[in-house]
Amino acid sequence: MVSEATNTRKKSVLWDWLTTVDHKKIAILYLIAGALFFVKAGLMAVLFRIQLIAPEMEFISGQTFNELVTMHGTIMLFLAATPLIFAFANFAVPLQIGARDVAFPFVNSLGFWLFLSGGILLSISWFFGGAPDAGWTSYVPLASREFGGIGIDFYVLGLQISGFGTLVSGINFIVTIINMRAPGMTMMRLPLFVWTMLITSMLIVFAFTPLAAGLALLMLDRIFDAQFFIPGEGGNVVLWQHIFWIFGHPEVYILVLPAFGIISEVIPAFSKKRLFGYTSMVFAVLIIGFLSFMVWLHHMFTVGVGPIANSVFAIATMTIAVPTGIKIFNWLFTMWGGKIRFTTAMHFAASFVPTFVLGGVTGVMLAMAPVTHLYHDTYFVVAHFHYIIVGGIVLGLFAGFFYWYPKMFGHKLNETLGIIMFWLFYIGFHLTFFIQHILGLMGMPRRVYTFLEGQGLDTMNFISTIGAFLMSAAIIVLVVNIVYSALNSERVTVKDPWDARTLEWATHTPIPEYNFAQTPQVRSLDPVFYEKIHGNGEMKPVEPLDEIHMPNGSILPLIISIGLFIAGFGFISFHLDLFISPYVFIAVGGILTFGAMAARSLQNDHGYHIDKETVESMEKELS
């Protein structure tokens, strides 16, 4: 077929960002949006930690407390951690495998806009009668139409839309990683971050779909008066817990596996050693991914499903400690005897290891079904999962942030400010959450908005809140660092400012839109480092320099997402007393969404070509 390719016309900056399908720009969009949601959910945590700073405080009401806690958990998992991981995955995965772009650039952009519109739909609940208040797990009957507030309608529809975005992004990553690797990049030469993203994406495909089904059931119950979770009409409330945790447990690994991947990139780079036990690391990731689906019932030990089920799931849960232990030791052995450079990224990566071990140990404690009755719904559980999520995922994300920042934005972050931020965050984190283990063992229940005086809980709650302030201070230092470095840091012009190992460091900084002018030949694990030792320091190309075909940008993903946002709001507005009929919203949203989809299938979009001369002059300018 003859191409009707055209060169891009001059576009305004805003239009460019709204229509972009470039994985590097989408990565930055994810980074910004995820960071904003992260700060928002963090501020919510500070608010309810202030409420808990002293016994019988009346800083916020019990209802507001419930809403804040629910939104804190929901936003942190779905709208902060997931998009931040997608930011790094979108940025690094195509570069690390030597691809020009992802497999489905249009779908990639759709994934971002769906996540954002779902997130905004969830967030506007505050203005329409209150945020969701049934906990991030939204257990029925607390979340049923009889007991739950209007906010839960925003929860089900907001998460449906953003979850669909996550799902299509996951499909995109799987196809990209399997089909678009550069020559020589065999599966057993994939950087570990790519491996973890491949497994994570598979978990997304198999875990977000049950979530979509479960949310659909809850939506049908609440908005269309179905009877799934109404025991009097034949429904069953435990069904929700099964569906939710069949999603919810793999979700933990959807978030933590990429963090493992980032750590496995950062530690070798700053230890100047190949990752110890690469093969065992890959298999550990595979096993963890598999087992993550086999353990959901450990969230339900106290529901009463019987001793046999409890035993089976307790053992399956403890089994996960084995591959995780393999990973921990491999990281230690990678650092062992290495030439360690303690950059900020390495601070975060190295501190991740002991912190995550602590979270893992309490995980094994919680996995013992009989003992769980003592910990159930206490702060011990809160402490445990924050050690996994903050001490694991967030530390990993910060490591990745400092590591990839120069490649993403063309300058390094200030190291002094970075290390100040690290210590503030790390000390604040342990002050906040270590002490919650003890609070939990003393019997302080979670999800309760205040506590009484004279129970020995005062001092430790006070310390915990101070820790939350320290973590907030760390984030302020990070913001200062970003601004300061943007103004004062030297531009990075070399390809590889860290003396790193993997393929993303083989392109120019800033990265041209086509990533690699010529697809590189991969000859080893850690290809860039291999060429430094065995070659002339440059990747060998597998093709002559020629014109490059790139996809066109499109506004349609944004329109589809806006359409779903409007339609979703329409479904919610059945319970709102608005002057516009819900059917109007649903019709307008449906027309926008399906119209944009039809437009996409009818248009002829062959992308455009960057001709050889332009590529040559860009390459010359950058080197």
> Residues 536-565 vs another protein: string with x where CB under 8 A?
-------------x----------------
Q: Could you tell me which residues come within 8 angstroms of residue 517 by beta carbon, excluding any fewer than 6 positions away?
A: 541, 545, 548, 615, 618, 619
Residue whose token pair is 């232990």: 325
Can you tell me which of 217, 326, 366, 431 binds another protein, judged by CB under 8 A? 217
Q: Does residue 47 bind another protein (CB under 8 A)?
A: no
Identity of the residue, 26 or 262, whose beta carbon is nearer to another protein in the bound complex: 26
How many residues of this chain bind another protein (CB under 8 A)? Answer: 49
Greatest Cα-to-Cα distance within the chain, rounded to the nearest angstrom: 81
Can you tell me which of 216, 340, 357, 588 binds another protein, judged by CB under 8 A? 216
Site for another protein in 561-620 (CB under 8 A): 594, 598, 601-602, 606-607
Residue 610 main-chain phi, psi, to 5 deg? -95, 120
Q: Does residue 224 bind another protein (CB under 8 A)?
A: yes
On whether the CB atoms of residues 237 and 300 are closer than 8 A, the answer is no
DSSP 310-323: HHHHHHHHHHTHHH
Radius of gyration of the chain (CA): 25
Amino acid at 605: D
> Residues 87-106 vs another protein: string with x where CB under 8 A?
----------------xx--
In angstroms, give the least distance from the CB of 521 to another protein. 18
Can you tell me which of 212, 463, 473, 576 binds another protein, judged by CB under 8 A? 212
| H or E stretch at 548 | strand 548-550
Burial class of residue 165 in the structure, from the number of CB atoms within 10 Å of its CB (0-12 exposed, 13-18 middle, 19+ buried): buried
Q: Could you tell me which residues come within 8 angstroms of residue 483 by beta carbon, excluding any fewer than 6 positions away?
A: none
- On the question of a cis peptide bond just before residue 141, with omega within 30 degrees of 0, the verdict is yes
On whether the CB atoms of residues 97 and 182 are closer than 8 A, the answer is yes
> Residues 267-306 vs another protein: string with x where CB under 8 A?
----------------------------------------
Residue 536 main-chain phi, psi, to 5 deg? -100, 15
Residue whose token pair is 């991740």: 352
Q: How far apart are CA 175 and CA 172, in angstroms?
A: 5
Identity of the residue, 293 or 333, whose beta carbon is nearer to another protein in the bound complex: 293
Helices then strands (H, E): number in the chain? 21, 4
> Residues 492-531 vs another protein: string with x where CB under 8 A?
----------------------------------------
In angstroms, give the least distance from the CB of 62 to another protein. 32
Angle (nearest 5°) at CA 474 between 354 and 502: 60
Q: Does residue 21 bind another protein (CB under 8 A)?
A: no
Identity of the residue, 233 or 453, whose beta carbon is nearer to another protein in the bound complex: 233
Can you tell me which of 32, 43, 213, 584 binds another protein, judged by CB under 8 A? 213
> Residues 143-182 vs another protein: string with x where CB under 8 A?
------------------------x---xx-xx--xxx--
Nearest to 138, CA basis, from 114, 157, 120: 157
Q: How far apart are CA 595 and CA 604, in angstroms?
A: 16
In angstroms, give the least distance from the CB of 276 to another protein. 32
Point out which span in 118-126, 229-237, 318-326, 340-348 binds another protein (CB under 8 A). 229-237
Can you tell me which of 193, 228, 245, 514 binds another protein, judged by CB under 8 A? 228
Identity of the residue, 66 or 172, whose beta carbon is nearer to another protein in the bound complex: 172
Can you tell me which of 233, 377, 453, 611 binds another protein, judged by CB under 8 A? 233
In angstroms, give the least distance from the CB of 249 to another protein. 14
In angstroms, give the least distance from the CB of 603 to another protein. 9
Identity of the residue, 174 or 511, whose beta carbon is nearer to another protein in the bound complex: 174
Burial class of residue 279 in the structure, from the number of CB atoms within 10 Å of its CB (0-12 exposed, 13-18 middle, 19+ buried): exposed
In angstroms, give the least distance from the CB of 3 to another protein. 4
Between the CA of residue 61 and those of 51, 52, 382, 449, what are the distances in Å? 9, 12, 21, 8
Residues that bind another protein (CB under 8 A): 1-3, 5, 103-104, 167, 171-172, 174-175, 178-180, 205-210, 212-214, 216-217, 220-221, 224-228, 230, 232-236, 239, 242-243, 246, 549, 594, 598, 601-602, 606-607
